[in-house]
Amino acid sequence: MATDAKAPKRTSLVRHPDFVKLWTAETVSQFGTQVSLLALPLIAATILDVSPFEFGLLGTIEFLPFILLSLPAGVWVDRLRRRPILIIADVGRAIALLSIPVAFYFDALTIWQLYLVGFVTGCLTVFFDVAYQSYLPALVDREDLVEGNSKLEISRSAAQMTGPGIAGVIIGAVTAPIAIILDALSFLGSAVFLLLIRKHEPLPERVSTGADGKGPGMRTEIGEGLRYVLGHRYLRNIAATTGTSNLFSNICFAILLLYLVRELGFTAEVLGLTFSLGSIGFLVGAVAANRIARRIGVGPTIVGSAMLFGPSLLPIALAPPELALPFTVAAVFIGGFGGAVYNINQVSLRQAITPERMQGRMNATMRFIVWGTIPFGNIIGGALGGTIGLHETIWVGAIGSLFAFLPVFFSPVRGIREMPVPPEATDDLARDSVGEATDETPRPVPGSPRASMDED
């Protein structure tokens, strides 16, 4: 009598050469980015001495491309190979950033140049992020998505934990404009590692719709992506929670550095130390995300982590001046832990349930919704900061963030136990978009551990 062969033992992605190159590229870029994240607002706040509204406008312009370009970018990502898009975006961002130290050297740096650089890098980041999240499912097996996203999040968390401290020291030593050179070099390094990936990426197939053999137009494909996300009972609620959180948190973040520097007297070194210590939460969350999801399930993990990162802004609002440092560290730690667990699980869920041909448009539509609220948060935060005051604006963002978890809490996401796979009928987008009978019952991915509940 024949016996069943044992399932092959899964190996870690650290033994996957192409994933390791992608992971290295992202790690190098993330560490470099920490310099610009601290340096650009410091240039505006100290060297250029801008108003609160001008300060908030800088973040708005940087994220404006996520409103203007996300949906078309998703169509192009589904039409083209994704790795070349990643490489071109890295090189373009390096060139844009290098213009800042050049202008500073010639004493020609203005807020308008920061706006332009922010807009250009934002446009390239739109294409990079959509292609990046769509590329991972083509590079690794579906059952490895959570591990892959966890490892990528660990790199981001490590960068957020140690990067600001290093960045603060570098900025204090060589000035903020010169320190940006390091971020530009990190983008170039990322492009080199992406070039070294050997796995062949086939050109995405397009569905022919006419007698001439041509595929659907841009508007039709954008509409497909919108209907898929907004009609999907999981995706639309995840988008609502993430978008709400981004809106209110960025009301606070739009003026947070200005508040810490001008009203609490934080220096570049203290800022770096604060965010480095607080960012330990990101690292802990990235390491724990998979274990939590295995123990309690994917859905409960997503809901629970959303309930955790919402209140994380309250310590900043409540902090007395003499205890501002530990309170801010606590806020960053709590928000980082909850955010890392939430992002790893919700991104993995999105990738797992979406057909390959829809990955780009799904990610682009999600970005359009959830990152599209960021400029509005920045505008509102900058405007409120200049009218009602910086501390009062932080309270507005903190209170609004408390309610971000509600969409996923009152949704079917809460009941997911195991990572699902795309339903058989996902190609029938019109039927799925209007909520007719499609099989969205979560089914375990082969080789994935069972979990009684869900989180991350």
Q: What is the 3-state secondary structure (H, E, C) of the chain?
A: CCCCCCCCCCCCHHHCHHHHHHHHHHHHHHHHHHHHHHHHHHHHHHHCCCCHHHHHHHHHHHHCHHHHCHHHHHHHHHHCCHHHHHHHHHHHHHHHHHHHHHHHHCCCCCHHHHHHHHHHHHHHHHHHHHHHHHHHHHHCCHHHHHHHHHHHHHHHHHHHHHHHHHHHHHHHHHCHHHHHHHHHHHHHHHHHHHHCCCCCCCCCCCCCCCCCCCCCCHHHHHHHHHHHHHHCCCHHHHHHHHHHHHHHHHHHHHHHHHHHHHCCCCCHHHHHHHHHHHCHHHHHHHHHHHHHHHHHEHHHHHHHHHHHHHHHHHHHHHCCHHHHHHHHHHHHHHHHHHHHHHHHHHHHHHHHHCCHHHHHHHHHHHHHHHCCHHHHHHHHHHHHHHHCCHHHHHHHHHHHHCCCCHHHHCCHHHHCCCCCCCCCCCCCHHHHHCCCCCCCCCCCCCCCCCCCCEEC
Domains of the chain: 14-200+217-455 (1.20.1250.20)
* The pLDDT value given to residue 434: 38
Tokens 């909520």 sit at which residue?
435
R_g over Cα of the chain: 22
Q: Give the dihedral of Cα atoms 107, 113, 114, 118; nearest 10 deg.
A: -150
Q: Are 370 and 239 in contact (CB under 8 A)?
A: yes
Question: Residue with structure tokens 């980041």?
Answer: 125
Per-residue pLDDT, 130: 83
- Distance, CA of 47 to chain centre: 29
CA-to-CA distance for 266 and 327, rounded, in angstroms? Answer: 13
Mean pLDDT by 10 residues, the chain (456 residues): 49 85 87 81 83 80 81 87 91 94 90 91 86 82 78 76 74 83 91 91 63 69 91 94 94 89 82 81 85 90 93 90 89 91 91 85 88 84 90 94 95 87 47 36 29 31
Tell me what pLDDT residue 191 has. Answer: 95
Q: Residue 393, Cβ neighbours under 10 Å: how many?
A: 28
pLDDT at 1: 44
Q: Which residues 6+ apart lie within 8 Å of 238 measured at CB? A: 302, 346, 349, 350, 366, 407, 408, 413
Confidence (pLDDT) at 423: 55
Residue bearing tokens 């990322």: 190
pLDDT attached to residue 7: 47
Residue 261 to residue 190: CA distance in whole angstroms: 32
> Residue 212: what pLDDT?
52
Contact present, 451 and 293 (Cβ < 8 Å): yes
Query: What is the pTM (predicted TM-score) of this model?
Result: 0.69
For the beta carbon of residue 51, count every other beta carbon within 10 angstroms: 14
Q: Could you give the CA distance from residue 421 to residue 447 in angstroms, rounded to a whole number?
A: 13
Residue-level pLDDT at 264: 84
